């Protein structure tokens, strides 16, 4: 059975002390609840807090991921962080191709593919974000756009490598806007993505791939979204910054 995953993408938020407080709060809350055994919690703090958050996770209930990685192996790339560095910190995951990176830092599918290759080479699991912008949905092009992102970002991989991929469908018009995709909109896109994977890699791989929903997911709508057969959890932005909200979502299965 594929994993249920709830991943918190903190983006560029919180000072060090605030981040420390947030993890403590999350742990305290996790200790007081019984989480579904198939549910995996992932925290993705900003780079400077990765070690602090990882230290907490030693004896705890969540895994840790970065929000971005370089497409290059090492060398003169000022300000970049390599997959080898993340691997040496024993991190497990990394978000790639988030729509904010695609929009503000001009990340293409080709760059996403190169980052995915780096992560896999260094034994990290990529959480690969795809999703259409509002104009594309209004023009009825959402399936086409997402298919291109999935194909160009991921379908160069072998079936063995693809088994380490987590996909996050994040309609850009729903990110940070308070406007969530309806459960039907999420399910139909997730099913579309799973069909693409099945055609490329076969049913066994498609059935094992976790496909997360992202975009204004909160405790009040997580249950409805996660109830869909092809929605395997969420990539959570705003609501991951408050322990109560984040845990409310993690317990929505």
- In whole angstroms, how close is the CB of 80 to ligand PGA at the nearest point? 21
Q: Tell the residue number behind the tokens 């092809």, with chain if given.
A: 230
Task: State yes or no: residue 237 binds ligand PGA (CB under 6 A).
Answer: yes
Q: What's CA 202's distance to the chain center, in Å?
A: 23
- In whole angstroms, how close is the CB of 159 to ligand PGA at the nearest point? 27
Quick check: is 98 catalytic? Answer: yes
**Which residues in the 206-235 window bind ligand PGA by CB under 6 A?**
214-217, 235
Q: What does the DSSP 8-state code read for residue 49?
A: G
Q: Of the candidates 11, 38, 12, 10, which has an alpha carbon nearest to the alpha carbon of residue 26?
A: 10
Catalytic residue (choose from 98, 107, 132, 136): 98
Cα separation of 242 and 138, whole Å?
Answer: 32
Task: State yes or no: residue 9 binds ligand PGA (CB under 6 A).
Answer: yes
Bridge partner residues of 40 (DSSP): 5
Task: State yes or no: residue 185 binds ligand PGA (CB under 6 A).
Answer: no
| Residue 147 to residues 30, 101, 131, 175, Cα–Cα distance (Å) | 36, 19, 9, 19
Number of residues that bind ligand PGA (CB under 6 A): 13
Pick 171 or 201: Cβ nearer ligand PGA: 171
Report residue 59 as tokens.
């004896």
Report residue 140 as tokens.
């009825």
244, 29 in Cβ contact below 8 A? yes
Catalytic residue (choose from 4, 100, 170, 190): 170
- In whole angstroms, how close is the CB of 124 to ligand PGA at the nearest point? 18
- In whole angstroms, how close is the CB of 100 to ligand PGA at the nearest point? 7
**Shortest Cβ contact with ligand PGA: which residue?**
237
Q: Kindly list the catalytic residues.
A: 98, 170
- Interface residues with ligand PGA (CB under 6 A) are 9, 170, 175-176, 214-217, 235-239
């Amino acid at each position: 059975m594929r994993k249920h995953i709830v991943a918190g993408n903190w983006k560029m938020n919180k000072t060090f002390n605030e981040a420390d407080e947030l993890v403590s709060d999350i742990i305290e809350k996790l200790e007081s609840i019984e989480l579904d055994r198939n549910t995996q919690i992932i925290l993705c703090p900003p780079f400077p807090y990765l070690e602090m958050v990882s230290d907490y996770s030693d004896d705890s209930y969540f895994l840790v991921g970065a929000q971005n990685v370089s497409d290059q192996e090492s060398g003169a790339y000022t300000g970049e962080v390599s997959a080898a560095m993340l691997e040496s910190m024993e991190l497990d995951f990394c978000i790639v191709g988030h729509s904010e990176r695609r929009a503000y830092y001009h990340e293409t599918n080709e760059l996403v593919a190169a980052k995915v290759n780096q992560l896999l080479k260094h034994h990290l699991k990529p959480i690969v974000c795809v999703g259409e912008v509002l104009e594309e949905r209004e023009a009825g092009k959402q399936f086409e756009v997402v298919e291109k992102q999935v194909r160009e970002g991921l379908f160069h991989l072998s079936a063995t490598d693809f088994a380490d991929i987590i996909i996050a469908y994040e309609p850009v018009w729903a990110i940070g806007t308070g406007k969530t995709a309806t459960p039907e909109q999420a399910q139909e896109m997730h099913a579309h993505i799973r069909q693409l994977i099945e055609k490329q890699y076969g049913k066994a791989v498609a059935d094992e791939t976790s496909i997360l929903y992202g975009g204004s997911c909160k405790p009040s709508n997580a249950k409805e979204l996660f109830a869909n057969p092809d929605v395997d959890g969420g990539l959570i932005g705003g609501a991951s910054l408050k322990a109560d909200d984040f845990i409310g979502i993690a317990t929505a299965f």
